[in-house]
Amino acid sequence: MSAATPVLQNDLLLRALAREPVPRTPVWMMRQAGRYLPEYRATRERAGSFMDLCRSSELACEVTMQPLARYPLDAAILFSDILTIPDAMGLGLHFVEGEGPKFERPVRDSSAIRALRPPDIARDLGYVTDAVRVIRRELQGRVPLIGFTGSPWTLATYMIEGGSSRDFARAKALVYDDPAAAHHLLDMVATAVTQYLNAQIEAGAQAVQIFDTWGGALSTPAYQAFSLHYMTRVIEGLIREHDQRRVPVTVFTKGGGQWLELMADSGCDALGLDWTTELGDARARVGHRVALQGNLDPAVLNAGPAAIRSEVERVLASFGSGAGHIFNLGHGITPGVPPEHAGAMIEAVHELSPQWHESS
């Protein structure tokens, strides 16, 4: 970004990620631009396909901004997909109605893995960095922009399985039968992920998040070797200061609450927590070392506003007083949630969180 970059008007997220005092808890939602919003569905239909929507910088900007037009959120998150890197590696990504992402050419053995070509970020994924630039221009310093990627392990599971999986049988078989091939794949993907996040940062992302959606499917030794090791390597390779401000990194391993201490050693600034880990317990274990993000059960948003408010209050109380909490869901908002219920959650955070920051 140039010297003429607008001054950031709301830096609560960045301050909380740095564990600095804030007057209230910042809030954003994973998948805050998505199918629960009628305006998103209309733009998606206009785009023609999900990937056409992702590849249009103007439309990606439009849907990124939609939740900010509805709600007083403290961050925008780039609208894209975690599978852009495998798509750029020539695996033939497409989306099947009711089944999700599929790859035409999955990689399931050493020969297929060694035949892969690493993506050229500027050439193959320039549409993502173009979208970052357009979104930053449109935000005009209103709130920070979060960039993101899937973790190397999570991306590898889709590349090996050819899509979503319940048991990750093929990916785990490769890990145990041919660990050298698995490490070769993960090494290539980790390099691409590092370059990809750095390109987002250089284009204007002010914070980044690594979504390790499927790390929790692994045993502890396998998690350390095949997921956390590569996320740590990514973090070590990232640009950590841009536009004269630190670029914080959040790691979110769904189902990873048992590994918080290990994750806190990765060099990240914050840990995202799903709803199965109590925030107070997590803070007692690692809260002095990293910020914590989360962790309302997304299913709570199917309940009424009174129940939502009660659960928001419980989550805030669980973290307790002081800095270092970013309010979020424990996973992405689901398509059937009424938009006004998301609004009730955000309103409750605004109303109830200042009492936990009175000394700030």
Average pLDDT over residues 225-252: 97
Q: Are 223 and 163 in contact (CB under 8 A)?
A: no
Count of alpha carbons within 13 Å of 67, Cβ hemisphere only? 28
SS3 of residue 181 by DSSP: helix
96 pLDDT higher than 90: no
User: Mean pLDDT score of the chain, rounded to an integer?
Assistant: 96
Q: Residue 4: what pLDDT?
A: 65
What is the share, in percent, of the chain residues with pLDDT greater than 70?
Answer: 98
pLDDT in tens, 278-301: 999 999 999 789 999 999 999 999
Domains of the chain: 12-357 (3.20.20.210)
Is the pLDDT score of 163 beyond 70? Answer: yes
> What is the band of 94 on the pLDDT scale with cuts at 50, 70, 90?
confident
Q: What confidence score (pLDDT) does residue 2 get?
A: 52
Residue type, 297: D
Name every residue whose Cβ is closer than 8 Å to that of residue 33 and which is 6 or more positions away in sequence.
40, 63, 64, 66, 67, 77, 79
pLDDT-above-90 percentage for the chain: 93
Helix/strand/coil for 101: strand
* CB neighbour class for 155 (10 Å; exposed up to 12, middle 13-18, buried from 19): buried
Active site members: 31, 35, 44, 81, 158
From residue 206, alpha-carbon distances to 54, 70, 323 in Å are 20, 22, 19
Of 172, 166, 169, the residue nearest 153 (C-alpha): 172
Q: Residue 100: what pLDDT?
A: 83
Q: What is the pLDDT of residue 198?
A: 98
**What pLDDT, on a 0 to 100 scale, did the predictor assign at position 359?**
65
Do residues 315 and 352 lie in contact, with contact meaning Cβ atoms separated by under 8 Å? no
Q: What is the mean pLDDT of residues 335-342?
A: 97
At residue 360, does pLDDT exceed 70? no
Average pLDDT over residues 158-166: 94
**pLDDT exceeds 80 at position 354:** yes
